[in-house]
Amino acid sequence: MHISAIIGIAAGLASAILYASAWTGTVLGLFVLFFLSPMPVAIAGLGWGWRVGATAGATGTLAVLASGGTRSAIVYLIAVGAPTATFSYLAMLNRRSEDGTTEWYPIGRILAWATLWAALAATAGILSIGSDAAAIRASLLELLDKTLFVDAMSPGGAKVTPEQKTAFAALMAAFLPWAFATTWFTIAMLNMWAAGAVTARSGRLARPWPDLTAITLPPGMALAFGASVLGMMASDMLGLVATCFASALLFAFMLVGLGIMHRLTRGYAIRPLLLAIVYAGLLMLPPFSNLLVAMLGLAEPFLRGRPPDNQQPPDVT
C-alpha cells in the first residue's frame, strides 16, 4: 500500500476516534474533541494533497458508520469529512498565469464556500429537529422537560410555569440557527487555519502562506447578506432558514473585519491593547460587537488598496 494511502487512512481513523469520543465524555470533552475532529483530515489534505484528504474523510465516515450507525456517519460526513476534504482541495487549487507565476485559489472564495456550507448544514440541523417552527419548539420543549426543567418537577424545586417553558423553548428555537451556523463555521475555519499552520511549519504546505488580513469576499455576498436579513422577517421555517444564512454570512464578514483591523493596526505600539479590546468585546457583547466588526468587513471594498504606511509582511500566526 502506498504511503499516502496509509496516511489518509490513519488520519481518517484519528478523526473518527476524536468524533466518537466526543459523544461519550463530559460536555467539555464533547466540545474539545468534536472541535478537533476535522484536524487530522485537514492536515492530510493540506500536507499530502486532496486525494489523501478525501481518503481520510471517507475512512472517517466508514469508521463512524461501523461504530456509531448510519445517522452518526451522516452527521460526520456533512459536518467533518466532506467539507474538510473539499476545503483542502480548494486551498491547494492553482493555475499558471501568463507570466509563469502560480495563482492560488483565493482564500476569500474558500470562505464563501464555507459560508454556504455552514448555512446549509445549519438548515439541515434545524430540519432534523422539526419540519416547521411549531414542531421545533415542541421538540425543544420536550428536551428541556427531560433536562433543564427536570428539577422543577421534584419536591422543593423551583416552579416553572408552562408559559415560561414555552417562552424559553421559543427563545432557543430562535437562537439555534445562529448557534448551528456560527459553531460549524468556526470549527471548520479554525481547523483549516491550524492545519495550515502545522503543515507550513513542517514544510509540507506547498502553497505560500496567504496574507489573511487582506481577504476579500465575492461581491455577491453583500447582496446575499442583505437578502437573508430581510428573509429573517418572514414567519415560520423561511425565517429560520434565512437566519441560518444571515448568521453564516455575518460571521464571514466579521472575519474580514477582523483582518482589516489587524492590517490597519500593524506597527502601532497600542495594537495589542486595541485588538484585546476588540476580541473581548466579541466574547462579552454579542451580537452587537459582532455586527459592528462585520460592518467593517462589509466596507472592505471601500478600504481596499489603502494599507498603512507601516505595513509589515504577513506571518503564519
pLDDT tens by residue, 293-306: 999 999 988 876 55
- Integer Cα distance of 145 and 136 in angstroms: 14
pLDDT averaged over every residue in the chain: 87
Domain boundaries, the chain: 1-92
What is the model's pLDDT at position 217?
A: 94
- Read off the pLDDT of residues 84-101 as tens digits, 9 standing for 90 and up: 999 999 999 999 888 888
Higher pLDDT: 245 or 1? It is 245
- Residues facing 283 on adjacent strands: none
Rounded to whole angstroms, the Cα distance separating 129 from 123 reads 10
Single-letter amino acid, residue 139: S
- Which of 26-40, 145-159, 176-190 has the least mean pLDDT? 145-159
Q: Which of 259, 218, 269 is nearest to 109 (CA)?
A: 218
DSSP string covering 97-155: -TTSPEEEPPHHHHHHHHHHHHHHHHHHHHHHH-SSHHHHHHHHHHHHHHTTTGGGGST
Q: Who wins on pLDDT, 315 or 33? A: 33
In the numeric block, which cell numbers belong to residue 309?
504606511
